[in-house]
Amino acid sequence: MKNKNVTIDQLAGMVQKGFNETAKKSEMDLRFKEVNKRFDRIENILIKQHSEEIEYLKKRVGKLEEALAME
């Protein structure tokens, strides 16, 4: 393997590039967290709506059962 001479400026550039890549990853992590929060809110809204609809339908079926049982 051949030794490669690296200047201080080149080394500084490499370190800076590494920091820039780390910053990009942190930004992406933050964006994914925000997207996950939005999905969680949407999921909770849908679950609540479905639960309310199921309860409504249970009441209607109960009324139908009562009406049919009376005859």
Domain residues of the chain, as ranges? Answer: 24-70
Residue pLDDT, tens place only, 30-55: 989 999 999 999 999 999 999 999 99
pLDDT of amino acid 2: 63
Residue in the block written with tokens 């890549």 = 21
Instruction: Locate 24 and state its tokens.
Output: 């990009």
The pTM of this model reads: 0.57
d(CA 35, CA 52): 26
Instruction: Please report which confidence band the pLDDT of residue 56 belongs to, taking 50, 70 and 90 as the band edges.
Output: very high
- 34-39-45-50 Cα dihedral, nearest 10 degrees: -170
**Distances in whole angstroms, Cα of residue 34 to Cα of each of 25, 28, 60:** 14, 10, 40
